[in-house]
Amino acid sequence: MAQYPGLRVNFFNDPQGIGGKHTVNADGTASVWLNTAAGKQTIAPLLAHELGHQAAFNGILPDIHDSLLGNPDTGKIGQYTQLGADGKPTGVNPDTGRYNTNSTWDALKQEYINKLSGLKDEKGNAVDSPDSQDSSAGFVLL
């Protein structure tokens, strides 16, 4: 994974286990663990979710957010920023502090949540739940 040098990706099959996890190893490298038990349709969203943790670990998550969602503080318009007829952002979401997102982002986000539905984190919370330790990293993240 050229964008994530040193990242180890591991697969396991445990129908009763967690969906996946991201760990930092003693040597400073990172590992991603993906549970294949839920079927191949969950691998891509799980990998995206765990790569979100890796992006946060590497300190590049703010750059990804800026590129995809925009940054009202700098005026940067993101790939999924909702634009008005004048070509300017329609506003800022008070919950995220980022520009409002367009319908393409909203549909992709919902697809991601649907595909991860029913998967659990290490604490037993649904991955797409606000109580999940992983909820902020997924879908680059919500």
**Nearest residue to 91 via CA among 70, 115, 114, 118:** 70
pLDDT at residue 85 in the model: 97
β partners of residue 32: 9, 22
Q: For each of the chain's 142 residues, which pLDDT tens digit applies?
A: 456 778 899 999 998 888 888 898 898 888 999 989 878 888 888 888 888 888 888 888 899 999 999 999 999 999 999 999 999 999 999 988 999 999 999 998 888 888 777 766 666 666 655 444 444 344 444 4
**Does the predicted TM-score (pTM) go above 0.95?**
no
d(Cα 91, Cα 77) in Å, to the nearest integer? 11
pLDDT value for 123? 65
